[in-house]
Structure 1
Amino acid sequence: MPHNLQALAEKALAAAKAAGAGAADVLAVAGDSLSIEVRQGALEHAERAEGVDLGLRVLIGKRQACISISDIRDDAIETAAARAVAMARLAPEDAYCGLADPDQLSALRAADGLELEEPGDAPNPADLQALACQAEAAALAVKGVAQVQSAGADWSRHNIWLAASNGFSGGYARSSHSLAAVAISGTGTAMERDWAAESRIFKGDMPSAEDIGQRAGARAVARSGPRKPPTGAYPVLYDERVASGLIGHLLSAINGAAIARGASWLRDALGEAVLPEGMDLVENPRRARSAASRPFDAEGLPTHARSWVEDGRLQGYVLDLATARKLGMDATGNAARGTGGPPAPSTTNLALTQGSLSREDLLREMGTGLLITSLIGSSINATTGDYSRGASGFWVENGEIAGPVNECTVAGNLRPMLASLIAGNDAQMHKSHQIPSLLVEGLTIAGA
């Protein structure tokens, strides 16, 4: 049954005001999802979920509290509002919390033109099961695949409404289709696993189930018989599948929350070189048909395109209202939130300047070194940028893949690592983070 999220949000705001809140905002989310998993050609697991959540934030002076409920009856909303106000009265003061001023609010209150939702009803579960079975069969057809650990198809739709006592009220919907397969090669202690997955807003944009399954199988077989790489200093190529994680460390370092705490290795780096000359890192929150797009942020501020890094130099920090106030800067329209807590800075769609070299060209460029296709664990010193991660992938000799490797660690410092990047040309343009394969010089590899 559809819900009027705008009416629910307004009801929660009225309840907060009646309970004594000086200001309030509410995020209302209605979700509908369907998930199917198969095994050996038969249904393994099916799940359908529907629900509505309200996240209410109330403010009394410079004190705030958040509460989340899924019971949307009138008396439940009133009780939650009263509890939130009681919590706020006991909360410590936060000099930087507060809603946006009315003149800061976005004039755009919907996602018209962004194509974030595919019209129509939920797919038939039998159709999702058929797709999952096709992906599983394609993976099993790859020579050397022993079994398929899982194959699944998912669909979801979420309607979102944000309203606040400063006059903001707006909402939009987003939907998603996804398909994934995990294949295993070998047996016993020689088993190796890899995967392939795709997700799109529109079903017609999805690659075929056979393609996804075949990729999962081929990747698992390619990992058969790994060894440890040699220990030493070598160039490292981050495959496109994992390269966005490397840029993610840069984004974490320019997040306003980290900057405000002084816990960032880029806390005093505005205007300084953080990427190679000629390389830009651009955010576009209003990119059409992208899962991370949004017309306004979680505080009702307008979103717009900006360069976080331009010609290699850092241009700004990712800020919500609270961190902007603490740093004496302007908010950047990057607030995000769930129903369970207050806003926090976060980015949306990102694109890193691509180079002219393919992944194969980058392998020839590196000569001898490590191609990383999977990362596990993380030891990142947020203050110094010291970096250490477990990795697996392929050893490269004379520009050619020599064989799979695992059980190794790569280490370095993020500042010189990012400054030495050589970008490939293989970024996937349908992804919210369009990051190509990235070659890094001189990391320390701990292997055999």
Structure 2
Amino acid sequence: MTQTPSLDTLTHALLAAARRAGADTADAMAVASTSLSIDTRAGALEQAERSEGTEIGLRVLVGKRQACVSGSDLREETMDTMAERAVAMARLAPEDPHCGLADPAQLAESWDIAALDLADIGSEPEAAALQEAALACEAAAAAVPGVDQIEGTSAGFGRTAIHLAASNGFSGGYTRTGHMLSASAITGTGTAMDRDHCYEHRIYAADLPSPEDVGTRAGTRAAARSGAKRPPSGRFPVLYDERASTSLIGHLLSAANGAAIARGSSWLIGKMGEAILPAGLSLIEEPHRARISGSKPFDAEGLATRSSAIIENGHLARWVLDLASARKLGLESTRNAARGTSAPPSPSVSNVTLTPGTASREDLLRDMGTGLLVTSLIGSTINPNNGDYSRGASGFWVENGQIAYPVHECTIAGNLLDMLHRLTPANDAQDHKSHRIPSLLVEGLTLAGA
């Protein structure tokens, strides 16, 4: 059997093929992945899946025209064909004055993969062990009083190795792993049915909560939703639980994305340097946190990643930029390029941390008096130009600072600029998450319920 070439070898073979095909410059990416997942239901195996594969991608540039191709056939003759097609496509593509590789002086020169601790080497579990974990998770969820059925449980493992090389001299790669457990439980029947879940993911298997813990949390959350009804309509404070608050900061990050700014479709346009969050709050990108899934030593264009503020002391400090969006705006890349094998780079954030508050979630519940605690969000209507916000939500109605009853089928509306100015963070952010965002209390939102 022919041994699969290393990812390093594959990327350099692609670059050589691009040169032979007539490309002026090029970059190449190779990704080798392994995944294993086990699903159980009703105390038995429902589905088992395993996949392994290597994908390759090539971006070629002919002058200021570019094209991308990808595939999974690793033969040299196939790579030659890919390169020839990519060059032919690039010659027909419209000119893009902003595309192009990094200048060699911009490239990362060294990095410490070991310090990031992204791979649990030798940790791939056996399918039987994952099935045992999923069944234990299911049994724990089913044992919670008030749970009527288990929608499903899953246990999984994934390993991904990537390598990036470019004709400007960059070459580098790394491997990351992930272990996962999840359970979804249901309370009630028929039209009174409601559900909740627990999902846990870690780079290291040793850091993952036990199956019993995951199942119990899923069951407890679902049982608490028994008898959910619509809340009253009106204007009330809303506390986004830590499980839901990430979405609120996610809307902010989307608006700060350089591609949106360059298109002119962001409610943050013209706000650079202005107050976006309350004074004292910062949103810091931290791409070098150890054992965190979003960490990376360099971005998809070979630039060294580094920690920096997106929001600093409440004020918008920078956009999220790759090389192309930075050139369009007359700025420098913030080292935020991300990409897959089939498309050119685009801006994306890695790990972010919002300044925590001093109060617990329970303190904020007490202080809000009467309002809505949101634990889950569905749907999304966000006006990219002015930040008008509307989302379906479920959670719990709060009266006199205490949870009164579960709620569903309600809509939260407001404007993101106003909402972000009025938020108060709790101190309950989860350190294992890539987006380390605590529960967030937002005053004066419009609720449409009963």
Q: TM over 0.5: same fold? A: yes
Q: 2:106 maps to what in 1?
A: 104
Matches within 5 A, 1:329-348: 329-348=331-350
Deviation at 1:155, TM superposition (A): 0.2
Aligned to 1:391: 393
Q: Does 1:245 align with 2:247?
A: yes
Question: Does the aligned pair in 1 maintain the 2:123–2:205 contact within 8 Å?
Answer: no
Per the TM alignment, residue 108 of structure 1 is displaced from its structure 2 partner at its CA by 2.3
- Relative to structure 1, is the Cα distance of residues 436 and 2 closer, same or farther in structure 2, using a 3 angstrom cutoff? farther
Are residues 355 and 2 of structure 1, via their aligned partners in 2, closer, same or farther at CA, if it must alter by over 3 Å?
Answer: farther
Residue from 101, 124, 127 that aligns with 2:126: 124
Question: 1:2: Cα distance to partner?
Answer: 5.9
- Greater CA drift, 105-114 or 265-274: 105-114
- Indicate conservation of the 8 Å contact 2:356/2:426, yes or no: yes
Contact preservation (8 Å) 1:109, 1:171:
no
Structure 2 equivalent of residue 31 of structure 1: 33
Partner of 2:162: 160
1:61-99: per-residue Cα shift (whole Å, max 9, x none)? Answer: 000001110111111111111111110000000000000
- Deviation, 1:321, is 0.2
CA contact (8 A) 1:110 1:172 kept: no
Residue 3 of structure 1 contacts residue 30 of structure 1 at CA under 8 Å; is this kept in 2? no
| Alpha-carbon distance in structure 2 between the residues aligned to 1:380 and 1:314 | 20
1:36-75 equivalences in 2 (<5 Å): 36-75=38-77
Q: How much is the aligned-residue C-alpha RMSD, in angstroms?
A: 0.9
Written as runs of structure 1 = structure 2, the 5 A alignment for 1:419-434 is 419-434=421-436
Picking from 256, 259, 280, the partner of 2:258 is 256
Secondary structure of 1:270's counterpart equals: coil
**Matches of 1:298 and 1:209 in 2, distance apart?**
35
Give the match for residue 225 of structure 2: 223
Unaligned 5+ runs, structure 2: none
Residue 184 of structure 1 pairs with residue 186 of structure 2: yes
- Equivalent AA in structure 1 for residue 147 of structure 2: V
Looking at structure 1, the residues matched to 62 and 176 of structure 2 have their Cα atoms a distance apart, in angstroms, of 33
Tell me, yes or no, if the aligned pair for 2:70 and 2:341 is still in contact at 8 Å.
yes
- Aligned partners of 1:385 and 1:121: how far apart in 2? 44
CA drift of 1:190 comes to 1.3
Q: Deviations over 1:373-398 (max 9, x none)?
A: 11110000011000000111110000
Alignment correspondent of 2:318:
316
Name the amino acid aligned to 1:243. S
Aligned-partner Cα distance in 1 for 2:288–2:57? 24
Q: Map Cα deviations across residues 230-261 of structure 1 (whole Å, 9 max, x no partner).
A: 11100000000010000001101110001111
Contact 1:108 1:296 in 2 (8 A): no
**Is the contact made by 1:410 and 1:443 (CA closer than 8 Å) also made in structure 2?**
yes
Alignment gaps of 5+ in structure 1: none
Flag as ranges the 4+ runs of structure 1 deviating above 6 A.
none
Q: Distance in 1 between matches of 2:141 and 2:335?
A: 43
> Distance between the aligned counterparts of 2:448 and 2:406, measured in 1?
15
**Cα distance in 2, alignment partners of residues 112 and 223 from structure 1:** 44
Match of 1:415 among 391, 414, 417: 417
Tell me which amino acid in the other structure corresponds to 2:93: A
Alignment of 1:157-306 (within 5 A): 157-306=159-308
Distance 1:229 1:3 in 2: 59
For residue 372 of structure 1, what is the aligned residue in structure 2?
374
1:20 alignment partner AA: G
Separation in 2 of the partners of 1:132 and 1:112?
31
Aligned length: 448
Distance 1:323 1:108 in 2: 25
1:253–1:382: 8 Å Cα contact kept in structure 2?
A: yes
Q: Deviation string for 1:351-382 (max 9, x for gaps)?
A: 00000111111111110000111111000001
Deviation at 1:110, TM superposition (A): 5.8
Corresponding residue for residue 150 of structure 1: 152
Displacement of 1:112 = 2.6
Distance 1:103 1:371, change over 3 A: same
Q: Report the equivalent of 1:134.
A: 136
- Structure 1: distance between partners of 2:188 and 2:4: 48
Q: Which amino acid aligns with 1:135?
A: C
CA contact (8 A) 1:21 1:60 kept: yes
Deviation at 1:3, TM superposition (A): 4.3
Q: Which string of whole-angstrom CA distances, capped at 9 and with x for unpartnered residues, describes residues 131-175 of structure 1?
A: 100100000000111111110101010110000000000000000
Q: How far apart, in 1, do the equivalents of 2:428 and 2:401 lie?
A: 18
Pairing partner for 2:441 from 439, 442, 445: 439
Q: Decide whether the 8 Å contact of 1:109 with 1:169 is kept in 2.
A: no
* Aligned mate of 2:87, from 81, 85, 88: 85
Cα shift readout 1:202-245 (whole Å, capped 9, x = no counterpart):
11111111010001001111111111111110000000001000
134 and 433 in structure 1: CA distance in 2 versus 1, 3 angstrom threshold: same
Tell whether the 8 Å contact from 1:62 to 1:97 is kept in structure 2 after alignment.
yes
**Aligned counterparts of 1:98 and 1:358: Cα–Cα separation in 2:** 48
CA distance in 1, matches of 2:143, 2:230: 29
CA offsets 1:92-118 (integer angstroms, 9 cap, x no match): 000000000000000125623110001
SS at 2:289 equivalent: coil
**What secondary structure is seen at the aligned counterpart in 2 of 1:370?**
strand
